Amino acid sequence: MTVLASSLDTKSPEHAANREAMLAKLADLDAEHAKALAGGGEKYVQRHRKRGKLLARERIELLLDPDTPFLELSPLAAWGSDYTVGASLVTGIGVVEGVECLITANDPTVRGGASNPWSLKKALRANDIALANRLPCVNLVESGGADLPSQKEIFIPGGAIFRDLTRLSAAGIPTVAVVFGNSTAGGAYVPGMSDHVIMVKERAKVFLGGPPLVKMATGEESDDESLGGAEMHARVSGLADYFAVDEPDALRQARRVVARLNHRKAYGDPGPAEPPKYDADELLGIVPGDLRTPFDPREVIARIVDASDFDEFKPMYGTSLTTGWAALHGYPIGVLANARGVLFSEESQKAAQFIQLANQRDIPLLFLHNTTGYMVGKEYEQGGIIKHGAMMINAVSNSRVPHLSVLMGASYGAGHYGMCGRAYDPRFLFAWPSAKSAVMGPQQLAGVLSIVARQSAAAKGQPYDEEGDAALRAMVEQQIESESLPMFLSGRLYDDGVIDPRDTRTVLGMCLSAIHTASYEGARGGFGVFRM
Among 88-96, 183-191, 232-240, 510-518, which window interacts with ligand COA (CB under 6 A)?
Answer: 183-191
Residues 6+ apart with CB under 8 A from 163: none
Please state, in angstroms and as integers, the Cα–Cα distance from residue 500 to each residue in 22, 23, 33, 506, following that order. Answer: 9, 9, 12, 10
Residues 6+ apart with CB under 8 A from 399: 355, 358, 359, 365, 522, 523
Q: Are 57 and 105 in contact (CB under 8 A)?
A: yes
Could you give the CA distance from residue 195 to residue 246 in angstroms, rounded to a whole number? 21
Using the minimum distance from each CB to ligand COA, give the nearer residue, 112 or 442.
Answer: 112
Could you give the CA distance from residue 250 to residue 228 in angstroms, rounded to a whole number? 17
First-to-final CA distance of the chain: 36
Q: Count CA atoms closer than 13 A to 158's CA, side-chain side.
A: 22
Using the minimum distance from each CB to ligand COA, give the nearer residue, 147 or 195.
Answer: 147
Using the minimum distance from each CB to ligand COA, give the nearer residue, 209 or 384.
Answer: 209
Q: Is the dihedral of CA 451, 453, 458, 464 positive or negative?
A: negative
Using the minimum distance from each CB to ligand COA, give the nearer residue, 184 or 371.
Answer: 184
Q: Which residue is nearest to ligand COA (CB)?
A: 145
- For helices 151-158 and 160-170, the axis angle rounded to 10 degrees is 20
Binding mask 233-272 for ligand COA (x = CB under 6 A): ----------------------------------------
- DSSP 8-state code for residue 235: I
**Shortest Å, Cβ 114 to ligand COA:** 4
Q: What share of the chain is helix, strand, coil (3-state, %, to 5)?
A: 45, 20, 35
Could you give the CA distance from residue 42 to residue 106 in angstroms, rounded to a whole number? 17
- Side chain identity at residue 60, one-letter code: I
Residue 111, interface with ligand COA (CB under 6 A)? yes
CA angle 217, 218, 221 (to 5 degrees): 110
Residue 208, interface with ligand COA (CB under 6 A)? no
Q: Pick from 406, 503, 398, 513: which is nearest to 133 by CA? A: 513
Using the minimum distance from each CB to ligand COA, give the nearer residue, 79 or 207.
Answer: 207
Using the minimum distance from each CB to ligand COA, give the nearer residue, 145 or 418.
Answer: 145
Residue 24, interface with ligand COA (CB under 6 A)? no
Using the minimum distance from each CB to ligand COA, give the nearer residue, 180 or 424.
Answer: 180
Could you give the CA distance from residue 523 to residue 532 in angstroms, rounded to a whole number? 20
Binding mask 59-98 for ligand COA (x = CB under 6 A): ----------------------------------------
Using the minimum distance from each CB to ligand COA, give the nearer residue, 72 or 147.
Answer: 147
**Shortest Å, Cβ 50 to ligand COA:** 11
Among 107-115, 275-283, 400-408, 502-510, which window interacts with ligand COA (CB under 6 A)?
Answer: 107-115
Q: Count CA atoms closer than 13 A to 212's CA, side-chain side.
A: 2
Q: Pick from 47, 70, 66: which is nearest to 57 by CA? A: 70
Residue 158, interface with ligand COA (CB under 6 A)? no
Residue 185, interface with ligand COA (CB under 6 A)? yes
Could you give the CA distance from residue 334 to residue 300 in angstroms, rounded to a whole number? 14
497 alpha carbon, distance to own chain's centre? 5
Could you give the CA distance from residue 28 to residue 32 in angstroms, rounded to a whole number? 7
Residue 8, interface with ligand COA (CB under 6 A)? no
Among 70-78, 145-153, 275-283, 347-355, which window interacts with ligand COA (CB under 6 A)?
Answer: 145-153
Residue 145, interface with ligand COA (CB under 6 A)? yes
Near ligand COA by CB under 6 A: residue from 39, 75, 144, 491: 144
**Shortest Å, Cβ 190 to ligand COA:** 12
**Shortest Å, Cβ 324 to ligand COA:** 51
Among 140-148, 167-175, 369-377, 485-493, which window interacts with ligand COA (CB under 6 A)?
Answer: 140-148
| Torsion angles phi and psi, residue 242, rounded to 5 | -135, 135
Using the minimum distance from each CB to ligand COA, give the nearer residue, 211 or 289.
Answer: 211
Q: Are 38 and 84 in contact (CB under 8 A)?
A: no
**Shortest Å, Cβ 54 to ligand COA:** 14
Near ligand COA by CB under 6 A: residue from 75, 92, 112, 433: 112
**Shortest Å, Cβ 40 to ligand COA:** 8
Near ligand COA by CB under 6 A: residue from 3, 148, 216, 266: 148
Near ligand COA by CB under 6 A: residue from 139, 182, 320, 372: 182
Near ligand COA by CB under 6 A: residue from 114, 240, 429, 445: 114
Q: Are 260 and 66 in contact (CB under 8 A)?
A: no
Which residues contact ligand COA (rule: CB under 6 A)? 111-112, 114, 144-148, 182, 184-186
